[in-house]
Structure 1
Amino acid sequence: MKSLFKVSYLAAVVSSCCVASLPVLANQDGATKESDIEQIVVTGRAGAGFLRKSETSYAISTLSDEDLVTDNPLSVADVLKTVPGFWVESSGGEAGNNIRARGIPRDGYSSVSLQENGLAIQHDGGLGYLNADQSFRLDETIERVEVVRGGPSPIFASNAPGGMVNFITRKAYDYDSAVMKFELGDYNHYRFDGYYSKALENDMFVSIGGFYRQNDGVRDPGFTSNQGGQIRISAGKRFENGEIFVDYKHLNDKVAFLLPIPLSYDANGDITDAPGFDANYGTMMGPEVAHNVYRNLGDGYDFDLTDGTHTELNQFTVKADFTLDNGWQLANNFRYRQSDTLRNGLFPTGGITSAQQRIDDLSAQYGSVLPQNTHVELAFTNHPNDTFDVQNNQGNGQVLNGNLLSVFVPLDEVINDLRFSKQFTIGAQQHDVSFGAYVATYDYEFVRYMATAMFEVAEQARLVDAVVVNDAGEQVSSITENGILRYGSLYNNVDAGADIYAFYAADEWQITPKLRLDLGGRYEVSELSGTVEGTEVVDLEASDTFADDNFITGNGEFKHIDREYKEFAWTAGINYQLSDELGYFARYTDSFRAPNASDFNGNPDRDDLKVEPITMFEAGVKYAADDFSVYATPFYTHFENMRFTDYIFDTTTNSYRDQTAYGDTKTYGVELESFWQASELLDVALTGTWQSAEYETFNFTNQQGEAVDFGGNQLIRVPELSYRGTVGINLLDGRFRTELVAEYYGDRYGDVANTVNLPSYHVFNLSARYDINDEFVAYFNVQNINNEIGLTEGNPRGGQFIGETNESNYFLARPILGRTISASLRYSF
């Protein structure tokens, strides 16, 4: 954590394409280390020259490899908890999480470009059910992370109005290096990371690295929850005037997708465990739904919940950086990726009711078609010798519905970014100019199947059937089949894609030695095309139950998509540098978010999709001295005429319905990051964000036909205040370091109506590092020491405009993970 603040202002800033070798001036204990050489690339510029962090006209955060190893983040989202201005939801597990930047009201990674070596991991990180973090895993091949918050991000990357997160891999031209790390965790967690790089003659190197791990998951479903790994092979060649770098990565990994769980309130109204369910470690996923075949057209649908989010990816990258004879620098980044992603999950839908109420509801719904002198009872699907206790099953006597959802999302994508940069002088003024062209093309498929089941409210929940029993207590029929209320409750079949062309230019104009004006613009064209299959409802006539009577499937009719969107983004920033240590900046950015292929999932005829304008203003003061640094950045964002869609699952019909709203949002706030080296023994770091994020307007028509406007309400799930403070203690001449981290997240709301309150919470984490000798280092990490039940979201399927209300004492929400303990031994030379 320490180097996040100390090294970042000492590092020189260069183009996100061009690479230079510069000395890193601080090691873990803060002492100068002349032998340390690091290749430095700071994201967010396209210039040919160098800038220090304190000289940039935008906000930057950086993390070193030591920060990453010490913090031991479980996911990409966990990495970004140290970044001010980002609201991070990492409660979904190791992938499939949400990031919101500066109040921009988009989930997933649809407003932040997740990059690797300066090029997007996925052109659009917000494609439906294909979050960009599903295609990336952190391991020892990563050298550092650089984050641009807002600023010029939408000029140099598509779909980046909120910022860019750039993961930079290791390179070692001048020496051999190796890293091996063995890690154990208290949730049956085992992991091995490795990296080896060989320096060859003629300024070349080759390297190989990756990881493998498996564990039950912090929320144990009764089977191996997370399993797999990746391998990366890289090679580089330096020339007198440049470099060529080639990288291949293969990922084959599955992670559980964690979703809302049942919770309750204690006598004081505070959130607590539901009886029979541990809020810190429990999950509804369990052996009964681990692997089943559900009714479908033909032979059935093979649903394997143990796959979770299973990504198989091949990624090939070529980077070329050269200085031409005329002084221009040429940089070309090319990437091809092919991935197959299967997302299987158990989605609790809401409708937590007492077992008796569920019996009454089903009796009313189906009573007219049931045999005379019969009644409805609940019974365990796979446990005929166990009687369902209607009054107090699992200590709560509740049942709920859950969707067994499966989505297959293949993606083929090609990206290329070509740019030219040069520094030149006109009179006494220096210009650092860049011109670039960006091209991307992708083919995206989306095939979705869903069955809706009934469960007890319990960890590793058992399936429950609604059976029809006569007066003699004999079962004569059943409403459900094997716990399934409705097979085929959702279906989509989409094959779509896009061709994107963008041209951009930038100029860093040094007007005086202290004053610099930064300008940039980007023109982008997005052409969307593809087909969407229509749907129909059929009776499979394969069961005596009601479960297959209303099966949604494709009708064989495909409608064509053909859309084109064009837009221009621009930015202007000014930096006034009083001294090497102190500077000020201000920047205005006018950007946009264009529709993507997944916006047409299930609805090829929609004509309401438009480019959404986004404006951002930011200013800042930057001070960096040897033992103290502070970066304060006030900001303002405005999102205009955004379309919001709320998908609500109706637990009576077991189907989705949707509502649409349009609105403007505005957010103003302040980001802070600071570091203080109090002494050789003690240092303190603080990052924080205060923001007022609200819907300026939010208009829609509710189910009763009434006009509703939630203008003035707080943005969904975004806290006004959040901070992260770290106290570091260095002992034994720097060989031992421990960090205590305190995190705070203020009150939020789970719905636009601001009726579902997500209370504030504190989390404490502890990490320690001990240098056994020059090669071996031991690490120890405890997350969520206090076992806080901190809610990151309510129940989206119960309504995000107006949240689900329940007269009982039970509700659904997604909390952070419970306390985990891990330890690792790392060998390096």
Structure 2
Amino acid sequence: MRLSARQALACPLLSLVCVLAMPAGVAAQTASTQASGTATAEDADAAGGDQSEIIVTGTARAQRRFDVSYAVNSLGQEDVLRIAPRSVADLLGTVPGIQVEATGGEVQNITRVRGIPTDRGYLIFQQDGLPLYHEIDGVFWNSGDGMNRFDLMTERVEIVRGGPAPIFASNAAAIANNITVTGGAEMRGRAQVTIGDTGLYRLDAVQSGPLSDDTTFAIGGFIRQHDGYRDAGFPSDKGGQIRANLRHDLDNGFVRVTGMYVNDRNSFYLPIPVADPRDPSVSLDPYIDYHEGTLSSPSLRGVNVKYRDGAGVVQSMRRDLADGRHMRFGNVGLQWQADFDGWLVSALAGYTSGKSSFDAFYSTTNPVDADTFAAGYRTAANTAFGTAANPVASLRYAIAGTNGATPYDPDATSGLVLSGQYRAVESDFYSAQGDLSVTRRFDTGFGSHDLRVGTYTSFYGVDNVTAYQDMLIELRSRPRTLDLLAYSATGQVLGSVTDNGVLRYTTTLNSGDGDAKMIAFYANDTWDVTDGLRIDAGIRQEWYDMDGIALLSEATNLGDPTTLADNTTRAFSGAIITNQLKPSATNWTVGANYDFTPSLGVYARASTLEVPPNLGTVTSAQPNIVPTKARQYEFGVKAAFGRNYLYATGFYTQFDPFNASFVAFNPETGRNDQPVPFVGEAQVLGAEVDGRFAPTDWFALVGSVTYQEPEYRNLENSAGADPGAVNGNQIIREPKFFGNLRPTVTMDVGRGQLELYGRFDWVGRRYVDLFNRTRLPAYQTLGLGATLTVDEWRFQVVGDNITNARGLTEGNPRTDQLGGQGSSDAIYGRPLFGRNVRFILSRSW
């Protein structure tokens, strides 16, 4: 790994403060924008129609949304400001066909694309046509909401589902392209302040305009501090980002230089217990509040993670849970486009280098009766600390680190104790990517063709160290860590099962280093056969070369006779394995669009997506390689009349093979060392509907609905589980029905305009396990908002989950995927955030 490039990222976030102090002011810019290497705003203007309905993602040239033969949405800056999402995932949840679990905080959320049975949904994020990091997942970060944050420098977000996504991006069943602001002929800007009742303070700003007749600039970003939707006793989110670009117009095109820097800390909210496993009808609300409670705690701000290195030396990592998911990276980019007598040449290049530090407290097993938990360690404690003359007489709890001076009696509260896993990960990464394409429109004797051919390449790598450690805690919000002490009959402390709250020192220890290079060639042809009929087809061939190493680890006793916590600590053995992979992938798509009238049409499409192994495979000590292929079929009907539109798409997706295998958590060892292999097919049949009904100037109703049947098919298991009881079941955590409705009422108020709007979301029943034994019940939430605009001033108030509705997401995936949670409804999961309100004030000029 080339660490020097990463270490160069010392740019302080204070530079954003300088931007905010610019005398020219700051504001939103909605002038023409270079969207990606495939199309520009100039193309959009030529296409005609409302700019917000112009699509540049997944197409060789800008087109009206109505004219493309695939499902796509465009969310402009005004749309996003009206929605006022809490996270990128929350924003994507308004789009049909995308189901999200936006309960993890601002980042690290789950995003599922209809028909794709994975937690990321192969949803590839781009910025102006290129990813910031080639792969969708790094090591405990993702290139989706982990690297992409919405602010006023985002002009719009285009989301393509299915369709040509596998041709225009690697590993893509869908694309979310964040198109950034570019300066125009006028100096424009916006400043925006957001204050929330959850301790949120955020400042956004953007400034753009001309530097000369043919050169423009744009610069902006945000800084933010947030206590959090769940009170952990320390800030949940702290940091921000800055982005900037310069564009110079040429005689036949333009060149654009971009840069960005992110330095942001974000807490990752994990599942909490919500009911007593001894009696699931008993709520745990008195101890850990459903909407605001968390297992994150100031007690976890000085965790000592111990392990033995390859030289046999005991190492200590001091970790702070308040650091959360700390992402620092920089990106520079170059975009060039020129027209040579009808030959449109486009080049994109970008380089990203950064570091991710990850600290989170993961859920593992259900809460356990405190007496039962202690009894399970009685024999081991007596063997370690007792003698024939002075045996262990009892095991008792105490606040960690007090050596029994501060006893803790679980029976005085819930009678339960809980173990969880502190996870610490350090990753350094880089990713260079480039795209070069040529587009040419030409006529034939039978219609006209718009042909694009191109090549994409990327060089990327990562090195990381991962350590997991089990902790013992009390059952309450912001829990204290506990020690379980062994006492003699005379009350003497003989030893401790735990060590300062640590139940088991490092149970998982991994380190790896990998580099990859890939190259892809692609081609896409759009054939206008007649005035109403358009056929397009594309193909993409990819080749990868991955090399990596992984350090092997083994169990060892660190040698402390006063505790059991270090008896099976992982240690690097000194052995190293090397891995090399050279996979390839072939993706293709064929689509057709027929317009009966300029306002009514149909389309159909078939595509295949192959996903090669990711870089984590060659940095793993136990690589698991199962090829992934998705075959997607779509049929759509579309209608657009003035302010009204309706897009309905039926879809069928087949994953074959589909790897539903997982490694279960073993509470005896604290390790994920129980493989449960399920390999077969996943089939999803469904439909999505996206519409807008605006009968008058003062009322509009926007909404999306998705219905699907996500099922396992033809699974096989080699570990004794019965696949027959799984086949035909609903895929884990995937609902059959989800959607949202967003009504808006607009009225004039004096010199200003008032908008009143709502958001009603619903998610159907899901299951946490393969056998569909434990349900995640359906839920609905209501959000309300109002915006008053007077001249250049805008005031907005928006509230989420106004009724404090209850709903669980995720479950407890470390332990419940095979056997459920021992109850018909989930008693452990990530609950919805409670009612929260944000106030937003902005000024534009």
* Superposition TM-score, scaled by structure 2 size: 0.91
Contact preservation (8 Å) 1:22, 1:39: no
Contact preservation (8 Å) 1:12, 1:51: no
Q: Which residue of 2 aligns with 1:500?
A: 518
Q: Tell me: CA distance 1:347–1:267, structure 2 relative to 1, closer, same or farther (3 Å).
A: closer
Within 2, Cα distance between the matches of 1:265 and 1:538?
35
Within 2, Cα distance between the matches of 1:440 and 1:84?
31
Within 1, Cα distance between the matches of 2:279 and 2:56?
49
Q: Which residue of 2 aligns with 1:569?
A: 587
Amino acid at match of 2:367: I
Amino acid at match of 2:840: S
Q: Would you say 1:159 and 2:178 are equivalent positions?
A: no
Contact preservation (8 Å) 2:513, 2:619: no
Q: Tell me: CA distance 1:634–1:806, structure 2 relative to 1, closer, same or farther (3 Å).
A: closer
Q: Would you say 1:117 and 2:117 are equivalent positions?
A: no
Within 2, Cα distance between the matches of 1:421 and 1:369?
74
Within 1, Cα distance between the matches of 2:546 and 2:813?
28
Shift of 1:825: 0.5
Q: Would you say 1:59 and 2:74 are equivalent positions?
A: no
Q: Tell me: CA distance 1:779–1:543, structure 2 relative to 1, closer, same or farther (3 Å).
A: farther
Q: Which residue of 2 aligns with 1:29?
A: none
Q: Which residue of 2 aligns with 1:359?
A: 374
Q: Which residue of 1 aligns with 2:40?
A: 19
Question: What secondary structure, in the 3-state scheme, does the structure 1 residue paired with 2:332 have?
Answer: strand
Within 2, Cα distance between the matches of 1:645 and 1:602?
16
Q: Would you say 1:592 and 2:610 are equivalent positions?
A: yes
Within 2, Cα distance between the matches of 1:357 and 1:343?
33
Question: What secondary structure, in the 3-state scheme, does the structure 2 residue paired with 1:357 have?
Answer: helix
Within 1, Cα distance between the matches of 2:378 and 2:95?
53
Contact preservation (8 Å) 1:584, 1:622: yes
Q: Tell me: CA distance 1:475–1:610, structure 2 relative to 1, closer, same or farther (3 Å).
A: closer
Identity %: 30
Q: Would you say 1:449 and 2:467 are equivalent positions?
A: yes
Q: Which residue of 2 aligns with 1:335?
A: 350
Shift of 1:255: 0.1
Within 2, Cα distance between the matches of 1:165 and 1:226?
24
Within 1, Cα distance between the matches of 2:810 and 2:355?
28
Shift of 1:270: 7.4
Amino acid at match of 2:147: S
Contact preservation (8 Å) 2:392, 2:486: no
Question: Which one of 36, 58, 82 corresponds to residue 44 of structure 1?
Answer: 58
Contact preservation (8 Å) 2:276, 2:827: no
Q: Which residue of 2 aligns with 1:191?
A: 202
Within 1, Cα distance between the matches of 2:154 and 2:661?
37
- Structure 2 gaps, min length 5: 1-31, 309-313
- Structure 1 gaps, min length 5: 1-10, 26-31
Please say which of residues 750-759 and 251-260 is displaced more in the overlay.
750-759
Q: Would you say 1:227 and 2:238 are equivalent positions?
A: yes
Q: Tell me: CA distance 1:224–1:577, structure 2 relative to 1, closer, same or farther (3 Å).
A: same
Shift of 1:274: 3.6
Contact preservation (8 Å) 1:521, 1:570: yes
Contact preservation (8 Å) 2:33, 2:182: no
Contact preservation (8 Å) 2:665, 2:815: yes
Shift of 1:240: 2.3
Q: How does 1:125-136 map to 2 (within 5 A)?
A: 125-132=136-143, 133-136=145-148
Q: Which residue of 1 aligns with 2:23?
A: none
Shift of 1:275: 3.0
Question: Which one of 91, 97, 100 corresponds to residue 88 of structure 1?
Answer: 100
Q: Would you say 1:390 and 2:410 are equivalent positions?
A: yes
Question: Which one of 623, 635, 656 corresponds to residue 639 of structure 2?
Answer: 623
Within 2, Cα distance between the matches of 1:190 and 1:143?
22
Q: Which residue of 2 aligns with 1:73?
A: 85
Superposition misfits of 4+ residues, deviation over 4 angstroms: 11-16, 22-25, 36-41, 265-273, 382-386, 704-709
Please say which of residues 340-349 and 652-661 is displaced more in the overlay.
652-661
Q: Which residue of 2 aligns with 1:414?
A: 432
Q: Which residue of 1 aligns with 2:804?
A: 787
Amino acid at match of 1:391: D
Within 2, Cα distance between the matches of 1:224 and 1:12?
36
Count how many residue pairs are aligned between Structure 1 and Structure 2. 799
Q: Which residue of 1 aligns with 2:311?
A: none
Shift of 1:451: 1.4
Contact preservation (8 Å) 2:549, 2:619: no
Amino acid at match of 1:594: P
Q: Tell me: CA distance 1:629–1:775, structure 2 relative to 1, closer, same or farther (3 Å).
A: same
Q: Which residue of 2 aligns with 1:613?
A: 629
Amino acid at match of 1:762: Q
Q: Tell me: CA distance 1:366–1:194, structure 2 relative to 1, closer, same or farther (3 Å).
A: same
Q: Tell me: CA distance 1:705–1:41, structure 2 relative to 1, closer, same or farther (3 Å).
A: closer
Q: Which residue of 2 aligns with 1:726?
A: 742
Q: Which residue of 2 aligns with 1:632?
A: 648
Q: Tell me: CA distance 1:268–1:691, structure 2 relative to 1, closer, same or farther (3 Å).
A: farther
Question: What secondary structure, in the 3-state scheme, does the structure 2 residue paired with 1:306 have?
Answer: helix
Q: How does 1:186-335 map to 2 (within 5 A)?
A: 186-264=197-275, 273-297=284-308, 298-325=314-341, 327-335=342-350
Q: Which residue of 2 aligns with 1:28?
A: none
Q: How does 1:648-687 map to 2 (within 5 A)?
A: 648-657=664-673, 658-687=675-704
Please say which of residues 295-304 and 279-288 is displaced more in the overlay.
295-304
Contact preservation (8 Å) 1:13, 1:40: no
Question: What secondary structure, in the 3-state scheme, does the structure 2 residue paired with 1:284 have?
Answer: coil
Within 1, Cα distance between the matches of 2:290 and 2:157?
32
Question: What secondary structure, in the 3-state scheme, does the structure 2 residue paired with 1:171 have?
Answer: coil
Q: Which residue of 1 aligns with 2:714?
A: 697
Shift of 1:421: 0.4
Shift of 1:710: 1.3
Within 1, Cα distance between the matches of 2:577 and 2:343?
48
Q: Which residue of 2 aligns with 1:7?
A: none
Shift of 1:265: 7.2
Question: What secondary structure, in the 3-state scheme, does the structure 2 residue paired with 1:391 have?
Answer: helix
Q: Which residue of 2 aligns with 1:738?
A: 756
Q: Which residue of 1 aligns with 2:555?
A: 537
Contact preservation (8 Å) 1:669, 1:691: yes
Shift of 1:553: 2.0
Q: Which residue of 2 aligns with 1:487?
A: 505
Q: Which residue of 2 aligns with 1:803?
A: 820
Contact preservation (8 Å) 2:746, 2:755: yes
Q: Tell me: CA distance 1:200–1:285, structure 2 relative to 1, closer, same or farther (3 Å).
A: same
Please say which of residues 371-380 and 740-749 is displaced more in the overlay.
371-380
Contact preservation (8 Å) 1:713, 1:752: yes
Q: Tell me: CA distance 1:707–1:99, structure 2 relative to 1, closer, same or farther (3 Å).
A: closer
Question: What secondary structure, in the 3-state scheme, does the structure 2 residue paired with 1:817 have?
Answer: coil
Within 2, Cα distance between the matches of 1:479 and 1:617?
56
Deviation readout 1:604-638 (Å, 9 max, x if unpaired): 5x4x5243221000010110011321000000000
Question: What secondary structure, in the 3-state scheme, does the structure 1 residue paired with 2:66 have?
Answer: helix
Question: What secondary structure, in the 3-state scheme, does the structure 2 residue paired with 1:735 have?
Answer: strand
Contact preservation (8 Å) 2:37, 2:337: no
Shift of 1:811: 3.4
Question: Which one of 377, 380, 403 corresponds to residue 399 of structure 2?
Answer: 380
